[in-house]
Amino acid sequence: MNQRLASLLLCIISAFAAQSQILDTSETHTYKPLEVDRIEVEDILFLTLDSSAVDTGLNRFYDYYPAYGRLSPAIDLGLEASPILRLDETNENDLNLNLGLSHMAPYFYDEKIHLYQTKRPFTRLSYSQGPNEMINIEVTHAQQISDRLTFGLNYRRIKNQSLYYSNVTNVSRVRMRSLFNTKFYTGYYTDNRKYEIVTSYVWNKSKNIETGGFVSDSLFNLLSGRDKIDNNEASFVGAYGILAQNTFKISQFYRPGGKSTDSTKDNSLSQFKSQFYLNTELDNRRVEYEDNLPDSNNYGVNLAAFKDSIYHRTFSNEGGILITLKPLTLAASVTHAYNRIYMNGVTDAFNNVYLNGKGRLSIKQFAINAEARFGVLGYNLGDYHIKGRASTRYKQFNVQAGVLSQLVEPNFLENTLFSTAVQWSNSYSKVSVNQLFGDASIKLKDQTISGWIVAETSNGLIYYSGTNSIEQFNDFVTLLKTQVTYTVKKPHFGTDIKLVLQNSSNQQVLPRPNTSAFGNIYTQFRLFNKNLRVQLGAQTFWFSDFKSPTYNPYTRQWHNGSQNFSSYPPINLYTNARVKSFCFGIEFFHVQQGLMGNSYYSSPGYPLMPRSLRINLRWDLNN
């Protein structure tokens, strides 16, 4: 009993201590914001230390859910941690041996390495919660263990219960929509910085029940309110999928010369004029799909319970040299990658060799960046990727223009797929993509206007069609995209507006909405002797009607079709508050549910999330 009372007293004291740290605004507890920057390894490669600041401003909702923010326009399956398809992407592709599964890419941490720079240890805790067991937890920690040793960690966990479906056989799977992300960074260099090493480990995993959408859209459209949730049958009743990745990467730099002596130490990168580098990466990806009660209406054939799996392992090494002849910096390297793919009893192995080149030219406010990659052996033999960009700045005006040309072998699953439900073995030709692009921006006090345009021509585009088929279009497809953004940040008012105009010459091969828009408007003020900063706002997004792709659970791809899809613009009201380093927010999502009709969808067959109230917390533990 005494132990319970002591534990209760300790919790109460801790709660009051934490509250006092946040709310006490006396001189004793003066809050000093901590500046935290990140450095990309790409900049270390070019012997620079350009950094970008970590955002420590008022928290924004759905930063963890890209479909309702930074990736608009996009379609998804109506819930966090579900597959997403961007509707404004170009057809540029990596020159590499890829499986071609990108439906979860917006959620997954990538393999890029970056380092944190912070004077004091920085820890950020984020927590979001809503109905239907939606929980999002994020943790970021960074610190410099010593002057030459840094460490960083990102962790995220999203859990979300599926909505609207009443005939999924396994109740535990109804609740199974989970996303896990973990990423570690470490960086170390010797006292003279002639040797430097940066390492990272990435672990991504998603587990999703695969409902296949509604059996009947018309029934969903007729119902309203709570009746919608429990009276809609799913197309798939016993299917789920897993997509997992873990990647370990090491970047090492060896620098001859320098200014350091036995008596004087120089840790700057500017002292070096050249360096050798070695990048080593081990990447493992696993894909699983299981259906315990397959329906012939979905697959076109009668099937017993089955499980498909794909395993892709890549081990690669890149060795290169960089030389600086100011104002010109050039890097050249050779990459060897060994790929092994297991797919339902079929094994393929490839030894791939690539030649790589990068260059930067910088003269005052003018800069040119260029990169090239050529496949000389293996799966990507004969492929090339060339991209260049020129930029300049005059006062508050920035402008850049560039060109891209590539010829790339199709992704592996576009050529080869062995599944219980569907199989193909194609000998598709390489895909050609050429682009001209440019953008400009101007900042006028508290306003920023920017525009971006790209003209793209593609030949040999591969697209998923029908229910379970794949095709290559051996002719030219053009895409013209224009994007304009307008941002205002005044002391008591702000807005973000994005307008995207697109024109695709072939909507069957490359479906795109002609017009899409995103809007966010808010007002902000301070209370309690200006110690509490409050923000009230609303945001929405919309795109014009187009023939929307439909998600196929067992191919894990978005398939083009002939179904016309009308975007339903949800209106989200929110309030955010910040005191010191603590942020608290409440959002009323899809506030107009039922006021604009009952047929609201995030993609064909998948309804938008219903009206809900969600909380969002973020606490930077750095004071």
Segment among 4-18, 174-188, 309-323, 608-622 with least mean pLDDT: 4-18
Q: Give burial (CB, 10 Å; 0-12/13-18/19+) of 293.
A: middle
Given pLDDT bands bounded at 50, 70 and 90, which one contains residue 51? Answer: confident
Looking up tokens 């990102």, which residue turns up?
Answer: 154
Q: Give burial (CB, 10 Å; 0-12/13-18/19+) of 468.
A: buried
Query: With contact defined as beta carbons under 8 Å apart, do 326 and 336 qualify?
Result: no
- Distance (Å, rounded) from C-alpha 213 to C-alpha 207? 17
Segment among 22-36, 42-56, 181-195, 277-291 with least mean pLDDT: 22-36
438: CB partners within 8 A, 6+ apart: 399, 400, 401, 402, 452, 453
Given pLDDT bands bounded at 50, 70 and 90, which one contains residue 17? Answer: very low
Q: What is the mean pLDDT of residues 326-334?
A: 94
Q: Which two tokens stand for residue 467?
A: 């229910």
Task: Please write the tens of the pLDDT for every residue from 102-114.
Answer: 999 999 999 888 8
Given pLDDT bands bounded at 50, 70 and 90, which one contains residue 27? Answer: low
Q: Indicate if the pLDDT at residue 433 is higher than 60.
A: yes
Query: With contact defined as beta carbons under 8 Å apart, do 356 and 373 qualify?
Result: yes
Closest CA to 76 of 501, 550, 568: 550
Q: What DSSP character marks residue 54? A: P
Query: With contact defined as beta carbons under 8 Å apart, do 251 and 39 qualify?
Result: no
Give residue 56's pLDDT: 74
82: CB partners within 8 A, 6+ apart: 76, 177, 208
Q: Indicate if the pLDDT at residue 30 is higher than 70.
A: no
Protein fold of 33-620:
Maltoporin; Chain A (2.40.170)
Task: Please write the tens of the pLDDT for every residue from 227-273.
Answer: 888 888 899 998 999 999 999 999 999 999 888 776 677 788 888 99
Q: What is the mean pLDDT of residues 553-568?
A: 92
Task: Please write the tens of the pLDDT for every residue from 288-318.
Answer: 999 999 999 999 889 999 999 999 999 999 9
Q: What is the mean pLDDT of residues 189-204?
A: 94
Given pLDDT bands bounded at 50, 70 and 90, which one contains residue 413? Answer: very high
Given pLDDT bands bounded at 50, 70 and 90, which one contains residue 394? Answer: confident
Give residue 531's pLDDT: 86
- Distance (Å, rounded) from C-alpha 585 to C-alpha 245? 32
Q: Indicate if the pLDDT at residue 156 is higher than 90.
A: yes
Closest CA to 470 of 419, 512, 428: 428
Looking up tokens 């809609």, which residue turns up?
Answer: 232
Domain ranges, ordered by start, for the chain:
33-620
**How many residues are listed for the chain in this entry?**
623
Q: Indicate if the pLDDT at residue 19 is higher than 80.
A: no
Does residue 475 sit in helix, strand or coil?
A: strand
Helices (H), 352-508: 412-415
Closest CA to 154 of 188, 193, 114, 118: 114
Give residue 336's pLDDT: 98
Q: Is the pTM of this model over 0.85?
A: yes
